[in-house]
Structure 1
């Protein structure tokens, strides 16, 4: 790669690595100011704005706290915030080309999204989904399907797509019977760069996450297959170029780390950087899924030496990606001569009133729903310490799961087996207040739309599963002072600290990873390796999410019941939430047998 005089490779790539928004100048052309050897060709500019992982956020609102959203960094959320920034940039660039893309995970993640999938599903009412209402106001050019688009089944997904005023893309999702694309693979948009400017044809390729095959197996098995993202890009980019795309953008719902949360049975979960590196003909990639804020990253394509621009705009509408390209037209073809990207904070603008108005009634209905009282709690129950202490609030989940599976298997060949249950602290901020417990409190404890399943595990498999979860604790020698804030790896999500009910065990964090589970027993009797148990577990884990060992098996129970709703139903039926009904301390962190806490 050649750089203009006075611009070193180190200075340009160093700025890119640091996340700076300085443009990379591409080889052999004028810079953005039209300077260069000989007569400078006329330059044009294109801006691409990108969102991703909005996860059902329209208003800047926390439904679990029933307050305006806020966090320690004072981020804001929601499509209404994104729309305000987009409209601001469009106004600044009036008469110039501006495209708006989204990289997926749109229709799941808040009680607003759940309400119109579960309580008043759009497939039954025919109403327009709130995320379709909001995004149509913003006038996207294209959206990519994320893995969470498949959570509520294909009928709801397909209806949502039909409600959009722009294309939804997913080139690597193919019909399981025909092998043909199940959704629109790409679009080529004719873009005006200004008065009297030649037309620019922008190709936009959408790639969804292959983890759908694991995480939503029940919804897609036998219907859809999910191909490798790198191979899919390599197939479609040349086709798009041959069909007239002057530049090619990819909107990918896959992070840039190159690693997956599951095993090798399906293609890589986070290959965006690999796509840029291995597939020629790509100019830039907007990516999502990992929920990271990546303002600007350049990856060198190994075939062409070209620098490919990548950017990821965090999550929930907290950031808006802005990519700026300088172009010249020579010999009847377009060439990008400079590219840069930045990440804009949505807390700098007020919510767009048109978006708020479009979703106001649906937002109000959701707020009313989540504030319904389901039971009274005798005590305040918190998940703040659930990663490293046995807490009643996780035993509440395990009690409901155990009772549900036990009742369902009564009279079957599995009825004689002990029923164990697995839960995890999805949110350490979850609290059941003493007194009235509302739907929002239960939803704040169980924030995912997981369904309940059950499989049969041996004693050896139970121990292996617990060892896998125990690896996320730091090693703490005997005598060292425990720090609750660092005793578990802060880089590991809370939901990987799975706990079992129905067996007693210690986690000895002075021991090496792989040999930390001690005293695994029932009623004081050691659990034999060949003992058999029915284990209640959520569909995400059972399908391989997190790559926990031994759990990907044929289910002995799968009634497609949402765990969050089961928790609500149990509380409503009882009328009260009393730890005496479900709290059975059965595990602890120890060092050489001595409790850590």
Structure 2
């Protein structure tokens, strides 16, 4: 169509290629194979296809690949090359396995990486911008990633990398484009989201630079389309005379932006992944998928109690015994007095017959285990941070909007075993922890403890900077998934007394 330029974008695929959830293998409307059927139907000579990052980590398939076949080309790389992207931008999880793995992925996919606010070994990793000409229409495109990557990713994985402010980079780039290129349209591809409510303008999270989409929309004149990601939200609209869009994660949606050059109108749409999966695409990695499925079904042992999670809210209000089990293993393996863990947003729990599938779908993260030395004051600060997860609405305890919108951050609610405590939600944030005891004795600020904690949280991620400064007692350089798997294999039958040590009251 001569008067229409089409931009198609994927974001936050997180290794979901096959159209099923690895928890139960039931068909789902998600995955790159479904999206590719849409992509190929929508593409023409006036179309650009862009990926907005976080493709290399997140599914059982890619965990299995990184665990057993890290020297091989990633299944995500194989299918992205076949799909035929024009540009890729980077997300924070694309750095999880280090620069060597990321560079291997980019070399194989063989398309330009447009991330412009990152330096690697003192050189810009991506171009400042790229220009595409469609007849007489000039389109400028530039990519950004969230500048907070060093707060989340292991320092060794991003050695030599420097990340600059997404907002400042966007502002300079747009000014440069106006002066040097004078394009008809400017497209910003940003692996970041919105720090403020798009309707009301009030903050929805800590304004720490992780997400700057609202500020980019409001304060930078000249951007026509802002493609966003990172928050796993589904959103599409117009704000401050700019089009914004963000497709849902795991390949549930495809972003489609049509620019009509004759009327100077822009129409954004989110398309559901309801097409049939591209079986030819899946054939390219079917062998890896079958090996992964066999691994997931590997029996590890059995458990006596009910460790399934059927209600995500209840699993936190009344601490699921799956959390108790994980914490008890972490304390037993490390000898720590206390243990802290969180559940991801869709954690499944453990069946009576425990398999690797249960583990991967309950503890999703590729974290290792750290032991920190803390005192009673730090312990209370940890618990107060976590207690901010809750709020009261209509006289009922609910998840605070800050942890629920624009996308759930349930992984930021940590539960600690080894102590008993009460969260009084009606108290002000920072003053909610009451009746904190250790072995029936009140915890005082000067008491000392050892705490088993995952590597993500130990490095201060998720608003826990203070824990990163606490002395490290032990570093178990082994993934928590592997620690749990080895524990179950060794003990075979898991049986323990339920522990209800956390009490949440209004």
Contact 1:432 1:441 in 2 (8 A): yes
- Cα deviation 1:408-439 (Å, max 9, x = unaligned): xxxxxxxxxx63111123246513112x2110
Q: Offset at 1:496?
A: 2.8
Change (3 A) 1:352 1:369: same
- Cα deviation 1:538-585 (Å, max 9, x = unaligned): 2222233321463232533334422122111211122222224xx443
Contact 1:460 1:530 in 2 (8 A): yes
In the aligned structure 2, how far is the partner of 1:461 from the partner of 1:394?
21
In the aligned structure 1, how far is the partner of 2:32 from the partner of 2:99?
24
Q: Offset at 1:263?
A: 6.8
Question: What does residue 119 of structure 1 align with?
Answer: 68
Equivalent position to 2:38, from 71, 81, 85: 85
Question: What does residue 143 of structure 2 align with?
Answer: 206
In the aligned structure 1, how far is the partner of 2:289 from the partner of 2:436?
48
In the aligned structure 2, how far is the partner of 1:498 from the partner of 1:345?
33
Question: What does residue 138 of structure 1 align with?
Answer: 83
In the aligned structure 2, how far is the partner of 1:140 from the partner of 1:419?
50
Do residues 343 (structure 1) and 270 (structure 2) align? yes
Equivalent position to 2:10, from 30, 46, 51: 51
Contact 2:96 2:154 in 1 (8 A): no
In the aligned structure 2, how far is the partner of 1:212 from the partner of 1:291?
17
Q: What is the TM-score when the length of structure 1 is the normalising length?
A: 0.76
Q: Offset at 1:321?
A: 1.1
Question: What does residue 388 of structure 1 align with?
Answer: 317
Greater Cα radius of gyration, structure 1 or 2? 1
Q: Offset at 1:393?
A: 1.0
Question: What does residue 213 of structure 2 align with?
Answer: 272
In the aligned structure 2, how far is the partner of 1:132 from the partner of 1:146?
15
* Deviates most, 243-252 or 211-220: 243-252
In the aligned structure 2, how far is the partner of 1:233 from the partner of 1:402?
46
- Cα deviation 1:174-205 (Å, max 9, x = unaligned): 13x63x31x223553544x4xxx44x443321
Tell me how large the CA RMSD over aligned residues is.
2.6
Change (3 A) 1:51 1:273: same
In the aligned structure 2, how far is the partner of 1:382 from the partner of 1:355?
34
Contact 2:118 2:126 in 1 (8 A): no
In the aligned structure 2, how far is the partner of 1:510 from the partner of 1:201?
56
In the aligned structure 2, how far is the partner of 1:262 from the partner of 1:404?
35
Question: What does residue 363 of structure 1 align with?
Answer: 289
- Cα deviation 1:56-90 (Å, max 9, x = unaligned): 01011111213223xxxxxx111111111111112
In the aligned structure 2, how far is the partner of 1:227 from the partner of 1:538?
27
Question: What does residue 173 of structure 1 align with?
Answer: 118
Q: Offset at 1:513?
A: 3.6
- Cα deviation 1:253-309 (Å, max 9, x = unaligned): 000234686674xxx11112322333344221211111111122233xxxxxxx322
Q: Offset at 1:493?
A: 3.1
In the aligned structure 2, how far is the partner of 1:221 from the partner of 1:419?
32
Do residues 587 (structure 1) and 505 (structure 2) align? no
Query: Which consecutive unaligned segments of at least 5 residues does structure 1 have?
Result: 1-31, 33-42, 70-75, 300-306, 329-335, 407-417, 592-597
Question: What does residue 252 of structure 2 align with?
Answer: 318
In the aligned structure 2, how far is the partner of 1:130 from the partner of 1:429?
24
- Secondary structure of the 1:398 match is helix
Change (3 A) 1:472 1:260: closer
Equivalent position to 2:109, from 164, 168, 176: 164
- Secondary structure of the 1:518 match is strand
- Secondary structure of the 2:372 match is strand
Question: What does residue 518 of structure 1 align with?
Answer: 434
In the aligned structure 2, how far is the partner of 1:52 from the partner of 1:428?
19
* Deviates most, 220-229 or 282-291: 220-229
- Cα deviation 1:378-415 (Å, max 9, x = unaligned): 23312343201133211111122223333xxxxxxxxx
Aligned length, in residue pairs: 490
Change (3 A) 1:475 1:261: closer
